[in-house]
Amino acid sequence: MNPGTSRTWWKTPLGVLLTAVMLFPVYWMLNVSFTRDQDMRKSPPDLFPAHGTLEGYRAVLDQQLPYLGTSLVIGLGTVALTVALAAPAGYALAKLRPRGGGIMSFVLLAAQMIPGIIMAMGFYAIYLNLGLLQSVPGLIVADSTLAVPFAVLIFTAFMSGIPGELIQAAQMDGARALRTFWSIVLPMSRNSIVTVSLFAFLWSWSDFIFASTLANGGAHEPITLGIYHYIGNNNQQWNAIMATAVVASLPATVILVLAQRYVAAGVTAGAVKD
């Protein structure tokens, strides 16, 4: 046996053990979602639902679909607004070198340190005057404020690595800045676009602070508020509550699995220079 291998053999089982500990709450959520009401308080509890039931998932389909639909609309709207604002801003900071670009980058970093509850209070005062409380567009704008600063920094880092010769060649052919951005820079920034879109969607999908402050009691509430109300109204039906959590986790999980290779490339873009 290789001496180096004999000294590090324990790392694999330790990694498996730590992973199992971290993922156990997810497993328990799945387990409880299939557990019958009469088996919920067994001692010791069943580690596997021997007498599984789909009652919790039937309750989700009956009561939670409107919340899921609202969250999907808000998530896609947040993605669209974030990319539309952040991609041109990242291109300008990376390639056009405007005056005050360094200050702008610092402001973007500082913006990510502002607590969400403070921003929610500010939005509440503004939306109260504009009539945007309890509205889907209001939540899309609010959620975008969390994603745009991060997105601009990601786009700036990625677009800084695009060869300047390509942009110069486009300019020599008569392309202006907007045409160069649309035809050259944007198609080459696929990884960063996927990364930004994923994080923007996840932030909006899991948002609770903005939702509870700006949309609570409205006709269109996201799934985070749906789960919150469901816990309050059905505190004994834990299989239905956990089934709601499982269903709410599926879109983000599927998107993350499908986009993980683009995310890895997008997050590390600009980290290494030739």
Tens of pLDDT, residues 16-67: 899 989 989 889 898 888 888 777 777 777 788 777 888 888 888 888 888 9
Q: What is the dihedral of CA 225, 227, 228, 233, to 10 degrees?
A: 120
pLDDT in tens, 70-116: 999 999 999 999 999 999 999 888 888 788 888 888 888 888 888 88
Contact 220, 136 (CB under 8 A): yes
Q: What would the DSSP string read from start to end of 20-87?
A: HHHHHHHHHHHHHHT--GGGTT-SSPPSS-TT---HHHHHHHHHTHHHHHHHHHHHHHHHHHHHHHHH
Handedness of CA 206, 208, 213, 218 (dihedral sign): positive
The token pair that represents 162 in the structure block: 């695009």
Name the residue among 163, 166, 197 with its Cα closest to residue 179.
Answer: 166
Handedness of CA 98, 104, 106, 108 (dihedral sign): negative
Poorest-confidence range of 42-46, 60-64, 141-145, 202-206? Answer: 42-46
